[in-house]
Structure 1
Amino acid sequence: MKWKLNGRYIFSIVLVVILVVFVNIFIIFALLIAQSVFNIPLFQGNETSPELFTRQFQDKINIVNNHVTISKSGKKALIEENAWIQVLDEHGKVIYNYRTPKGIKKNYTPSEIVQTYKYKEVNADTTVFVGGKKEKSINYSYFIGIENPSLNRYFISYDNRNIYQVVKVVGIVFIIDIFIALLIGYFFSKRLTQPLQTLINGIKRLANKDYAVNYEPKGVYKDVFHNVNFLSDQLTANEKERKKLEIMREDWIGNISHDIKTPLASIQGYAELIKDQDYHFSIEEIREYAGIIEQKSLYIKEVIEDLNLTTRLKNKALSLNKKTVNIVAFLRNIVIDILNDPKYSNRNIVFHANQEQIPVAIDEILFRRAINNLIYNAIVHNDENVQIDVMIEKKERTHLTIKDNGKGIERKELDKIFDRYYRGTNTGDAHKGSGLGMAIAKDIIQEHKGELTISSEIGHGTTIDINFEDPS
C-alpha cells in the first residue's frame, strides 16, 4: 500500500511536468502559426509590423512615365513612423527621395541593395526594409528606413546537423528534468504519504475493533490525526458502555427469567390442584388459590408491559396524548391512591404545594406511571417508618420534588439507578420489579421535555428533582 501511494504520487508529478511542457510547446507553435497565417500580431502590440507597413506602402506610391510621387497619406504615414523613403528604378538609381538623411547613396548595385536590407548601413538607430512595385512591366524597388532604436532585425543561418544536435541536447536535458522531478516527487511523496499510511493503519485498527489508537497531531494532517484520536476515544467509551449494558442485560434476563418462572410455577401448581379430581376444595380455598393466581398473573403482566413501554420509549415510537391539567390536584390524587392501597396504608407520604392551581401539559397516563414508579422506588428501598415528601411549586418553571429521609443510595448505585435492567441491591422481597421502573420514569419525564436529577446521602435519604415546561 505504501509503495502504491508513493508510486501514484510520483507518477502524478512527472505526468504534470510532461503535460505542462508539451502544452506550452503546443501553444507556442500554435500561436506562431496563427500569427504567420492570419497575420495576427500575437507577440507584439496592435501596431502594424514594419514588414507589413513596407509592403502596403506601394499603394501610396504613384509612378507615371518614370515620374514618382507619394500621396499625402503616404507622407503622413512616413512622418508618423519617423521613416524615410528612396524609390529605385530597375538599374538601382534613386529616382525619388523623401525625408532621406544626408550622405545616403543615390545609386545601388544589387549586392549593395542586399547589404542594405540585411545590415544597418545608415546608422545604429535605423532599420531599412525593402519593398517593390511593378508599373507597366517595369519593376521598381524602394527602401523605407525606420529610425527606431527599439526595432531590430536579425538573419540566422543554420545547418540541419546542428538542429539535430540541438534536439539531442534538448532531449537529454528533458530526461534530466524528468529524473529531477522523480527525485523531488519521491521525497515529497515520502513526506506526505508516510503520515497518510499511518492514518490508514490506524483506521484499519479501529475497523478491527482495536481502539487503542492515539497519535500526536502534527504536520499537514494535524486535524485528521486529532479526529482519529477523538473517534478512538468515542469508540472506546461506547465499547465500555456496550459491555456494561451487555452484562447488565444478561444479569437482568437471568433475574427476570427467575422472577417470571417463580410465579408461573405457582400459577401452574394451584391450577393443577384445582383441576385434580382427587381433591375437594371448599369455596373459600378455591377463592384463595384464584387470588394467588391472579396476583402472580398481574406481576407477569406488569413485567411484560414494562418491557413493551421501555422499548417504545427507547425507539421514540411513543406518541404523547398531552392535555393541560392542574398538576397540584393530579399529584394529590396519586398520593391518595397509593395511601388507599392496603399494602402502603401505613406509610408516611406527605404532599406539599405552594399554590392550588399550576397548569401543566402532560400525558396523564404516562406521567402517572412515572410518578408512581418514583414514589414506589422510595417505598420499596426503605423501611416502613420512612417519610416521603411530594412537593410541587411554581417558580420560573414548574418544580416537582420527591424526597425521603431513608437509607440513601451509594454513589456507585446512584450512577446506575436510571439505567435499563438495573435493580437496586436493597430492593425488598415484596416488590422485586422488572428493573425498568426508574428508566421508564426518566424516559417519560424527558419525553415531556422535563429535566430529572437525583441526589442522595447515605443515612439521610434521597431527593429527586423534576423541572418541566409550562404548557404551550
Structure 2
Amino acid sequence: MKWRLTARFLLSILSIVVIVIFVNTAIFIGLMVYQQFNKFNDATADTEEIFVREFQQYIDVNSGQSSVRKEGLQQLHQRNAWIQLLDANGQVIDAYFAPENALSHYAPIDLIQVYKYEEYEAGTTVYVGSKDNISYLIGIKGSGVSRLVVHLSAASILQLIGKYGLLIVIADLLVATLVGWLFGRTLTKPLYAMIERIQHLKNHKHMPIKVPKGLYRPVFENLSEVSSELAAHEQERKRLEMMREEWISNVSHDMKTPLASIRGYAELLNERGLSLNEQTEYAQIIEKQSLHMQDLLDDLNLTMRLRHQQLPLTLTEVNIVQFMREIVIDTLNTPPYEQANIDFDATADVIVHSIDEHFMRRAVVNFLYNAILHNPPDVCVHVLVDANTITIADNGHGISAEDLTHIFERYYRGTNTEQKQGTGLGTAIARDIIEAHGGTVSITSEEQKGTTVTIQLHKVSEK
C-alpha cells in the first residue's frame, strides 16, 4: 500500500511535467506567431521606417541638385535625427546635422555596414531611403530601436534539437522524478501511518500514537480522539457485560431459591397426614415466594421500559407534603419497620407537584427503605420537604466512594449491604422514575457518618 501510493503520486507528477512541457512549447510557438503577426499588422503604424520612407516629401530635386525643406529640418530636429543626401555614385552631396565622423562617400558595402550595425554614435539607428536618383541616409539617435542580426540555418536548428533535445527531456524527467519522490515520501508517509492507524482501530488496538506536525495533524488528532472514545466505550461495554452476567447469575440464584421452596412445599402438600396448620403454613410460604418472584419479574419489566423511555405516567396535582407524610406513616405501620426512627419535617403545609403517585411512591420508598435496611437498627432517618426538593438523610454506615460512583447503575449491588433479597435494580429504577418526571436525584455519603439523598423536582406552588 505504501509503495502503491508513492507510485501513483510519482505518476501524477510525471504526467503534469509532460503536459507542462507540451503546453509551454505550444505557448512559445503561439507567441512567436502572434508577435510576427503583430509586426505584420504594424506595417501601417507610425514607425521609424515609415518616417524615413515618407521623408522624401521634404526633399527637393532640381537639375541634379537636392535640398531639404524647412519642414523636413524641423522633423529631423524633433526626432533628434540627421540626414545625408547621396548621388548615384554614393557621393555625399548635402548633409544636415550629420556627425563629424560621417563618411563623405559610401560604397555599397559601406551602406550595408552602416545599415546593419551602429557605426556612429551609440544608440543611433541608420535608415536608407531614396527619391528619384538621389539616395539618403537618416540616422536617429535614442529612438529605442535596435537591430539584432541572427544567422540561422534550418539544418543547424534541427541538428541542435536532435543532439540536445532528448538529453534535455531526459534531464527534466529525472529532475521531476527526484522531486516527486522526495515530495511523495513527505505526503505518503503520513497517509500510510493513517491507514495503519485505521487498521488498528478495526482490530480493536487502541495504542497511543505520536501526533505529527504539519498538514495531517488535525486528522491524527481526530483519530486519537476516536481511538480514546472507542477504548472507553469498549471498556464500558465489557464492564456492563460483566455486571449483566453477574446480575443474571444473581437473579437466576434468586429465582431458583423461591422456586425450590415452592416446589418443595408443594410436594409436602401432596403428602397425606399433614395437619391443617402445616398445610396453611406451607401455603403461606408458597404464596410469599410467589410474590417475591412476581416482584422480581415486575422489576425486570419496569427497568426495561425505563431503559427504552416507555414508562406511561399518569400525572396529577398532589400536595407533596401530605404525600411524603403518608409514606412515612405507612412505613412506620409496616411490621418490619415499626421500631424505625424516622423524623419528618416540611417548610410549608402545602407544596403542589404534578406527579404520578404510584411510580413516585415507588422511587421514594426505595430510598427510604434503603436508609433503614442497610444501617444499624438505631439509625436515625430525617425526611425534609422543602420547596422543590425532598431530602432523605441518615446517620448510618455511609457508602464507600467506590460504591457511590456506581450507585445508580443497573445490576449493581453495593458491598456494604447484608441484604441479598433485592434485585439490584431498585436505585436505578428510582432514579429513572424521577428523571421521567423531569427531576434529578443525587446521593452524597461519607463512611461512618451517613448518607443524604436529594430529589430535585419541578418548580412548585406553595400555600
- Give the TM-score normalised by structure 1: 0.74
Q: Is the 8 A contact 1:60 1:71 kept in 2?
A: no
User: SS at the partner of 1:432?
Assistant: coil
Hey, what's the Cα distance between the residues in 1 that align with 2:307 and 2:79?
A: 92
| Deviations 1:127-173 (CA, angstroms, capped at 9, x unpaired) | 2456899xxxx899886644227542201112344323542324323
Hey, what's the Cα distance between the residues in 1 that align with 2:406 and 2:102?
A: 113
Hey, what's the Cα distance between the residues in 2 that align with 1:170 and 1:183?
A: 20
Hey, what's the Cα distance between the residues in 2 that align with 1:283 and 1:77?
A: 149
Structure 2 residue aligned with 1:31: 31
| Deviations 1:96-118 (CA, angstroms, capped at 9, x unpaired) | 99877677678866655543432
Structure 1 residue aligned with 2:372: 379
Q: Is the 8 A contact 1:124 1:149 kept in 2?
A: no
Match of 2:384 among 387, 391, 403: 391
Q: CA deviation at 1:419?
A: 1.3
| Deviations 1:177-197 (CA, angstroms, capped at 9, x unpaired) | 332332333344334433443
Structure 1 residue aligned with 2:398: 408
Q: Is the 8 A contact 1:63 1:69 kept in 2?
A: no
Q: Is the 8 A contact 2:363 2:431 kept in 1?
A: yes
Structure 2 residue aligned with 1:197: 192
Structure 1 residue aligned with 2:247: 252
Q: Is the 8 A contact 1:328 1:353 kept in 2?
A: yes
Moved more, 344-353 or 95-104: 95-104
Residues 1:242 and 2:237 are matched in the alignment: yes
Match of 1:159 among 149, 153, 169: 153
Q: CA deviation at 1:65?
A: 12
| Deviations 1:6-49 (CA, angstroms, capped at 9, x unpaired) | 223333444444444443333333333333335699xxxxxx79
CA-atom RMSD in angstroms: 4.9
Change (3 A) 1:164 1:282: same
Change (3 A) 1:155 1:257: same
Change (3 A) 1:158 1:293: same
Hey, what's the Cα distance between the residues in 2 that align with 1:341 and 1:52?
A: 122
Hey, what's the Cα distance between the residues in 1 that align with 2:147 and 2:94?
A: 25
Q: Is the 8 A contact 1:61 1:70 kept in 2?
A: no
Matched ranges for 1:239-318 at <5 A = 239-263=234-258, 289=283, 296=289, 298-316=291-309
Structure 2 counterpart of 1:354, one-letter code: T
Structure 2 residue aligned with 1:355: 348
Residues 1:443 and 2:435 are matched in the alignment: no
Match of 2:227 among 229, 232, 238: 232
Q: Is the 8 A contact 2:56 2:130 kept in 1?
A: no
Moved more, 432-441 or 240-249: 432-441
Structure 1 counterpart of 2:197, one-letter code: G
Structure 2 residue aligned with 1:370: 363
Q: Is the 8 A contact 1:62 1:71 kept in 2?
A: no
Q: Is the 8 A contact 2:52 2:127 kept in 1?
A: no
Match of 2:421 among 414, 417, 432: 432
Change (3 A) 1:393 1:202: same
Q: Is the 8 A contact 1:404 1:463 kept in 2?
A: yes
Structure 1 counterpart of 2:341, one-letter code: N
- Aligned-residue sequence identity (percent) comes to 42
Q: Structure 1 regions of 5+ residues with no counterpart?
A: 42-47
Moved more, 377-386 or 413-422: 377-386
| Deviations 1:405-462 (CA, angstroms, capped at 9, x unpaired) | 2233333333322111112356566x72332221222334445554433233343332
User: SS at the partner of 2:171?
Assistant: helix
Structure 2 counterpart of 1:378, one-letter code: A
Change (3 A) 1:141 1:277: farther
Structure 1 residue aligned with 2:175: 180
Residues 1:219 and 2:213 are matched in the alignment: yes
Structure 2 counterpart of 1:400, one-letter code: I
Structure 2 residue aligned with 1:470: 459
Q: CA deviation at 1:389?
A: 1.7
Q: Is the 8 A contact 1:359 1:470 kept in 2?
A: no
Structure 2 counterpart of 1:421, one-letter code: Y
Change (3 A) 1:345 1:89: farther
Hey, what's the Cα distance between the residues in 2 that align with 1:38 and 1:319?
A: 89
Structure 1 residue aligned with 2:64: none
Q: Is the 8 A contact 1:130 1:143 kept in 2?
A: yes
Match of 1:125 among 123, 126, 137: 123
Change (3 A) 1:382 1:154: same
Hey, what's the Cα distance between the residues in 1 that align with 2:23 and 2:336?
A: 94
Q: CA deviation at 1:242?
A: 1.6
Q: Is the 8 A contact 1:61 1:71 kept in 2?
A: no
Moved more, 242-251 or 278-287: 278-287
Hey, what's the Cα distance between the residues in 2 that align with 1:120 and 1:215?
A: 74
Structure 1 counterpart of 2:30, one-letter code: A
Change (3 A) 1:242 1:34: same
Number of residue pairs matched by the alignment: 454
User: SS at the partner of 1:382?
Assistant: coil
Structure 2 residue aligned with 1:456: 445
Structure 1 residue aligned with 2:164: 169
Q: Is the 8 A contact 1:327 1:360 kept in 2?
A: yes
Hey, what's the Cα distance between the residues in 2 that align with 1:432 and 1:295?
A: 13
User: SS at the partner of 1:408?
Assistant: coil
User: SS at the partner of 1:205?
Assistant: helix
Q: Is the 8 A contact 2:243 2:411 kept in 1?
A: yes
User: SS at the partner of 1:402?
Assistant: strand
